[in-house]
Structure 1
Amino acid sequence: MSTRLRWPRLIIVTLVAALGLAGFLALGTWQVQRLHWKAALIERVDARVDAPAVPAPGPQDWPRITRESDEYRHVTLNGQFLNADEVQIYTPSDLGPSYWVMTPLRRDDGSVVMVNRGLVPERLKDPATRTAPAGDQQVTGLLRISEDEAWLFSRDSDPEARQWYRRDIGSITEALGLAPAAPYFVDAELVDADAWPLAGQTVVSFRNAHLSYALTWYGLALMVLGGYALFLRSEVRGEGAAD
């Protein structure tokens, strides 16, 4: 008894199975890499957030600041707020349409650091509805890196109109004519829960579902492999029975 396989059909199905298997395995491996990256990020952020506050980096340290080595560092600043240069950055929140209140702080050495003083609802967007901080101030919070991308579906920023939809520090300080200005900003920590802006809104918990994603992709790869094995078995048995 001879077995005559349908070679064109076999070649096409083999190619499709090989592409599917390679694709699912690649996606699964990518999710494993993301799993390790996210675990390292969570460990790094937890260590920095809980560490004692240290002076925020000065101009001599700015060129060496990176997201990997510095973001979420617990820092402290001293200086005076430049309240006339406050900007509000739109963001959706549990309060409804809301705004981050970003105010530059002039340090004793003359450098400027943008401080995210917290969140306000639409009704408190106008600085006239709030009491501005006056005199020497000490700010403690988390160092954040300038945002290159805004939240999903946000509009483009308009620096000339002083309207921003992401915390793009370089764009903000350039439009305000502030120099020398730090390339980062500081999320102020909560001091008074009854005061506006409402500080301490930094998200420091990160969802890590990459293991389940990896298992899903690897499971699909196994399904492709199993389906291909059944196809080969059917082909061989079908041709053998025909003979």
Structure 2
Amino acid sequence: MTDAPARKGLLVPLLFVLAGTGILVWLGLWQLHRLTWKDALIARIAARSTAAPQPLPMPAAWPGLKPDDYEYLHVSAQGHFDNAKEVLVFRTQGPRDLGAGYLVLTPLILASGDEVIVDRGFIPTDLAAKSSRPQSEIEGEVTVTGLMRSPQDRNFFTPADDPAHGLYFTRDPAAIAAHFGLTRAAPFVIDQDKIAIPGGWPEGGATIGNIPNNHMEYALTWFGGAIGLWVVFGTHLFRVWREWRQGRRSEHQPAKP
């Protein structure tokens, strides 16, 4: 084996390793960037959600609010529930391993006449009918405390809502307001805190606070993949070098008589 073929046999694997390393290292660095972002997000959520409730932003400020301005902000609001406009949002899993069920969303009518959709909490599927939980329909003036949440996004797999039967698959205040003709509805939802209510349902405090943060593991996986490429290339390089050495020895061995 001559030097030229040996070098030629290494060129394509080397280019592949260099390209692969660049991609994997970039992915690892991106995950570290996401880790920094996620750590800051979790810290902000913890600070906002555990703080004492503050007054709900004034309705005049609602159109200019951005989710980053209010997400998980602990607030309080006064008004009365419009129980006739209650809807259910399907969930495949409830708190405390209760299985599938629904979130109960009800408009809270403020003294100003503006409306805020309140996520009052979770109910099991066998309590979907209002007749099975008549005590849950609280009448009169109430004070609601909870976390401000932005509308929930839909994706390709999200089923279509069924407004005629009060069934939704995303927590979208705009869709609910449009169905009931609520012209002054807030562009956000309040996830009500867990409180003692007659009958025990719905169970508030349904906000998912355990946000996954696996970006360090993902980063190590990508960096490990880059190292693995070089290990494989090193093994290939050693094999080529060994074959080259054997070829050189054969060339210098005297021919047998």
TM (normalized to structure 1)? Answer: 0.91
> Where does the alignment leave 5 or more consecutive residues of structure 2 unmatched?
249-257
Query: SS of the residue aligned with 1:4?
Result: helix
| Structure 1 stretch displaced more, 135-144 or 7-16 | 7-16
Quick one: which amino acid aligns to residue 125 of structure 2? E
> C-alpha separation between the residues in 2 aligned to 1:242 and 1:42?
61
Q: Secondary structure at the match of 1:179?
A: coil
**Could you say which residue in structure 2 is the equivalent of 1:52?**
52
Q: Which moved more, 1:97-106 or 1:126-135?
A: 126-135
Relative distance call for 1:5 and 1:230 in structure 2 (3 A) is farther
Match of 1:155 in 2: 159
- Over the residues paired in the alignment, what is the CA RMSD in angstroms? 2.1
Aligned to 1:129: 132
1:207 aligns with 2:181: no
Whole-Å separation in 2 of the counterparts to 1:96 and 1:154: 19
What SS is found at the alignment partner of 1:155? coil
Measured in 1, the distance between the counterparts of 2:123 and 2:83 equals: 16
- The Cα of 1:54 is off from its aligned counterpart by 0.9
Percent of aligned positions that are identical: 35
Please identify, of 115-124 and 88-97, the stretch whose mean Cα deviation from structure 2 is larger. 88-97
Counterpart of 1:181?
185
**Partner secondary structure for residue 131 of structure 2:** helix
**Residue 171 of structure 2 is aligned to residue 167 of structure 1:** yes
Unaligned 5+ segments in structure 1 are none
Q: What does residue 141 of structure 1 align with?
A: 146
**Larger deviation: 197-206 or 160-169?**
160-169
Distance 1:40 1:239 in 2: 54
- Kindly provide the CA deviation profile for residues 192-222 of structure 1, in whole angstroms up to 9, marking residues without a partner as x: 1761101112111223221122112111111
Q: Which amino acid aligns with 1:144?
A: R
Tell me the equivalent position of 2:101: 98
Q: Deviations over 1:65-102 (max 9, x none)?
A: 22222100000010111110000111112222201000
Q: What is the CA-CA distance between 1:168 and the residue it aligns to?
A: 1.3
Q: 1:109 aligns with which of 104, 107, 112?
A: 112
